Amino acid sequence: MNWLKCVLVTAAILPGVSVANANGDFTRVEGGTFTMGSENHYKEERYRHKVTVSSFLIKTTEVTNAEFAAFVEATGYVTTAEKDLDPKKYPGFPDDLLKAGSMVFAQPKEQVDLNDFRHWWRYVPGADWRHPEGPGSSINGLGNHPVVQVSPEDAAAYAKWAGGRLPTEAEWEYAALGGLEKANYTWGDIDHDPAEGWKANTWQGVFPAVDTAEDGHQGTAPVGSFAANGYGLYDMAGNVWEHVSDWWVPGHPGKALTDPKGPPVELAAQFAHDAVGPMNVVKGGSWLCAPSYCLRYRPSARQRAERSIGSNHIGFRIVRDID
């Protein structure tokens, strides 16, 4: 069964997906030189530097639950969140953290110390892409929402099956700008103006205890719910963070680069926690990003993600090379 047929068959299994979202549209982005990074926000985005990328095709939306389900249906793939960890590879880990599962946002009932993320993140055995908030949760009716609880390894496996790959950080940031130069946001330099309508699925209220959902969504939104950027790409800001192929290092290299693929793993390992190993970069922010805590629904924003685990606010999109 070919890829598109698999997706369409799976769409019938997962109500809520439309053929328009399930057909895997790609947008051609013409190569060019742009200014990557920012001096205006978080230290890991520094320093601004010129980068040149070649032309590529990028998926117009984030990969959806229906699309990922088609991949699993066709291949029998088992995600990292569905596998127990090998205690020999993770000595000293508590037994409950060795069980198959993933990270889930747990909204506290009252305001907490923002310096300790353990107040709102929990490792939940049984949490995976089919059960993004743990046992008892489901993606029924969420076929056109972005798939979450996928690791970088899972995302790369899907990309290979679909005839593509994960974008590099430079490709992703270039695409997110949508033709704008040095803009703070995918839509320009000015932050949200609710009078003009919400521009991305982000957090409204006081993070992490109060989510007013003024943009119409608590948690993920169906892909394409907000206006596209200048290249016609949806959700390059907010909704879910997106895996890219680069290893994590704290700052951008300060020199001109052409088609950068990120640092070698040996360099990335210098900045990783010994218990989890080298990490990957995620881009774009998520529904959990709020101006008061995580103003990262911006093209230059970047964070690190462990390679062996997912969460319910990280997904991905893929790119294809142009021959």
> Does the domain made of 3-81+143-321 have the CATH classification 3.90.1580.10?
yes
Distance CA 51, CA 33 (A): 5
DSSP letter for each residue of 183-236: -SBTTBSS---GGG---SB---EETTTEE--TTS-SS---TT-S---TTS---S
Question: Looking at residues 126-155, what average pLDDT do you find?
Answer: 97
CA of residue 149 relative to chain centroid, distance: 10
Given a cut of 60, is residue 11 above it in pLDDT? Answer: no
With beta carbons less than 8 A apart as the criterion, state whether 150 and 310 touch: yes
Distance (Å) of CA 89 to CA 94, 159, 212: 13, 27, 42
Backbone angles phi, psi at 59, to 5 degrees: -60, 135
Least confident piece of the model among 19-33, 87-101, 183-197, 268-282: 268-282
With beta carbons less than 8 A apart as the criterion, state whether 147 and 63 touch: yes
User: What's at 240, amino acid-wise?
Assistant: V
Given a cut of 80, is residue 19 above it in pLDDT? Answer: no
User: Tens digits of per-residue pLDDT, 185-213?
Assistant: 999 988 777 777 899 999 999 898 889 99
| Token pair belonging to 237 | 């800001």
Residue 253 CB partners (closer than 8 Å, separation 6+): 49, 260, 263
Looking at the chain, the whole-number percentage of residues with pLDDT higher than 90 is 57
Question: H or E segment at 247?
Answer: strand 241-247
CA of residue 250 relative to chain centroid, distance: 18
Predicted TM-score (pTM) of the model is: 0.86
